[in-house]
Homo-oligomer: A and B are copies of this chain.
Amino acid sequence: MTLSEVAAAAGVSVMTVSYTFNNPGRVAESTRLKVVEVAERLGFRGPDAGARQLRRRGGLRSLGLVLGESLDYIFDDPEATRFVAGIARECTRAGFGLTFLPTTGTADDVELIASAAVDAFIVWTTTPDDVSLAAVRDSHRPAVIHGGPAAEGFTLVSIDNRSAAEALAMEVWSGGSHPAVLCFPLDRSRDAGTHYGIDPQSVAFPVSRDRLAGCQDAAQALGIDWQRIPIIVCAHNSAEEGRDRVTSLLGAGAPVDGIVSMSDQLAVGAMEALKSLDLPVPQDVTVGGFDDSVPAREWELTTVHQSLLDQGARAARIALGVEKPGSKQDEWRLIRRRSSFRL
């Protein structure tokens, strides 16, 4: 159904129909009424958005958010949700829509992204070899990556995860002798399990990689052999999984007295496990997390404060061209709470 079909049926010119929809004041009321009536009867869907954009050259007025994770997962992660909320705030301000582009890891992603009706992209952290990253670059539209990887042609919005992890590990591990890491997935396979001596450079997910590197830095500074530190890799960022994995490792008798966790979620899971195992925090085990979320406050958890909301907003402003990229990284700071007081 097109303007011209409506025009034919109403016995007027195409322009009259166009005016009726875009500039009603310019047509006579009687004509307008007739056109509206005919359009209604024919079920005219209104001017085609693509054609209108083509003619007006006004852009699509929507921002694309490329998600390697399934959307369910994003919404299950409260901090990811904060990030999206930050983007959404700026989109609202700019009168833009926010288009989620859920990729599946298949070749279809390229088509999804190439043909996405959006003016710019924000890419949620992914691996350097992700095909959707290439698709975004090939689209030559403005693009911002959150978390990593740093890539040519993209602005990066992220804290310095390596330094933050090092500071956290120094706080949690010093004074102890049996450190452990509770870790995000290493790559798209999301294989879980406990490993030793992982080379951070071999890790695909940039956030996991950088934080592991920071832990390694801290181990070196503290004179701890990196090979001896258990790295408990979780498939998902949930308190449940943190709890279960810590329970099995420590329940099996592994000596651990300081857990650096890559999120507050996982850290809270660890603290739940420690509670069940009768290992008081911080007396027997110190714990630290990331994000300074609400549960971190409730559990008196030492954590790396950062604002995913602000980062989302900044990513959006850069993608929308409202803010210049700038080279400075986002802010973080270590929040010391009871969970890391070595008594």
Contacts and interface: CB of A to CB of B under 8 A. Distances in A.
A92 interface: yes
A140 B60 contact: no
Interface string A110-152: 0110111110000000000000000000111100000000000
Interface in A89-114: 89, 91-92, 95, 97-102, 104, 108, 111-112, 114
Interface stretch (A47-55, A208-216, A221-229, A275-283): A47-55
B72 A89 contact: yes
A13 interface: no
Nearest to A72: B85
A301 B259 CA distance: 35
Contact of A61 (B39, B89, B115): B115
B62 A141 contact: no
A178 to B, nearest CB: 33
Interface size class of A (residues with CB under 8 A): 35 or more
A138 B100 contact: no
Contacts of A138: 46
A117 B81 contact: no
B71 A75 contact: no
B54 A70 contact: no
Q: Which of A50, A54, A64, A71 neighbours the largest number of chain B CB atoms within 10 Å of its CB?
A: A50
Given A54-B54, A88-B102, A95-B111, 8 more contacts: A49-B118, A61-B116, A71-B89, A75-B75, A91-B100, A98-B102, A99-B99, A117-B118
Please name the 3 residue pairs, one residue from A and one from B, whose CB atoms are nearest each other, closest first: A71-B88, A117-B117, A45-B140
23 contacts: A1-B140, A43-B140, A47-B114, A49-B60, A49-B115, A50-B52, A50-B54, A51-B54, A52-B115, A53-B117, A61-B117, A62-B99, A70-B88, A70-B92, A71-B92, A71-B98, A72-B85, A75-B82, A81-B81, A97-B101, A97-B117, A97-B118, A100-B100
